[in-house]
Amino acid sequence: MVTRSVTPHQEIIEQAKRFELPGIDSKDALHISCAVAARAQYFITVDKGIIKHRNRVTEVHIRSPLEFVEQEG
């Protein structure tokens, strides 16, 4: 696991607005946008709303912790 700090700037905030969808609120969208900006391969979450709508976010692989462990070992 790599840890990288990302400070939200205007581009991240604008991208977050595009991620705001039913099931993905503004705070969640900002977290996803920061993961994309950090070039994360995966966004791991237990949030059922995000998981339900993950197919609408193509910039990062969204997985539950269990899915991640099952797929990536």
Q: Tokens standing for 34?
A: 């920061």
Residue 2 lies in a domain: no
Domain that holds residue 44: 10-72
Residue 1 lies in a domain: no
Q: What per-residue confidence (pLDDT) applies to 43? A: 96
How many degrees, rounded to 5, is the angle at CA 31 between CA 46 and CA 36? 105
pTM equals: 0.84
Residue 5 lies in a domain: no
Residue 31 lies in a domain: yes
Residue 3 lies in a domain: no
| Mean predicted confidence (pLDDT) in 22-45 | 93
What's the structural domain count of the chain?
1
| Mean predicted confidence (pLDDT) in 12-34 | 92
CA distance 7 to 67: 28
